[in-house]
Amino acid sequence: METSQTPVLTKQQQKHSLSGKKKLQGRSLFASPYDTYWPELKEDDEEDFNKVLLSALKPVSNPKVRVKWSELKNVPQEKRRDVRRELEMEAMKNMCREEEQKSRESLCLGVNAVTRGLNSSQVSSVLLAKDVDPKLLISHIITMCGIKGIPILIVPALRQFTKITLGFSCIALAIKKTSIEDFRELRHREVI
């Protein structure tokens, strides 16, 4: 009887096998050796600031116009769509569209728009949401504002306020440098 020999792998073959030693590979890590400064809103000032922010964002809101069913139920089904559009157009005409459009143009909404505004020096001040996860999404905005000397503030309830007033939540909001009067009016609006 012959004895069977167990195959033995050479060192070269062991390197390429699954059980062989693996080379250590470096991993990319996003980190900064510097501590980031997070200029958060103080709890004492939070209530007053929220009132000012709510009153400043109210004219920017885009209210939904809905036609009541009681107005449409007497209209034949084929004509309802046309009647609904006419009623919506009448309701939209009654609103101040010019003031709303002017207010909307004086804001940058979203991280990308704020970053573009900072790059082109169109921004005068920046508001950021506190509950952003991961913080890496907005850390570059804080650095850019620090370099350019633009005031920045981290607001705890920014997402909720933009959801209420604008209809969608937003983690970054900036006020553009518009004409001096418009800028002062938007930035220093008093709470009524």
Taking only the tens place, the pLDDT of each residue in 104-158 is 778 888 999 999 999 999 999 999 999 898 888 888 999 899 899 999 999 888 8
* pLDDT of res. 127: 92
Q: pLDDT tens for residues 25-44?
A: 777 766 767 777 778 888 88
Domains parsed from the chain with CATH numbers: 43-62+106-187 (3.30.1330.30)
Q: Using a pLDDT cut of 90, give the percent of the chain over it.
A: 15
* pLDDT of res. 120: 93
Give, as one character, the DSSP assignment of residue 78: G
Of the candidates 162, 170, 167, which has an alpha carbon nearest to the alpha carbon of residue 50?
Answer: 162
Contact status, residue 45 vs residue 147, Cβ threshold 8 Å:
no
Contact status, residue 109 vs residue 173, Cβ threshold 8 Å:
yes
Measured N-to-C along each axis, helices 111-119 and 136-148 cross at an angle, to the nearest 10 degrees, of: 20
**pLDDT, the chain, mean:** 78
The pair of structure tokens assigned to 130 is: 């506190």
Q: How confident is the model at residue 180 (pLDDT cuts 50, 70, 90)?
A: very low
The pair of structure tokens assigned to 56 is: 């400043």
Higher pLDDT, 176 or 9: 176
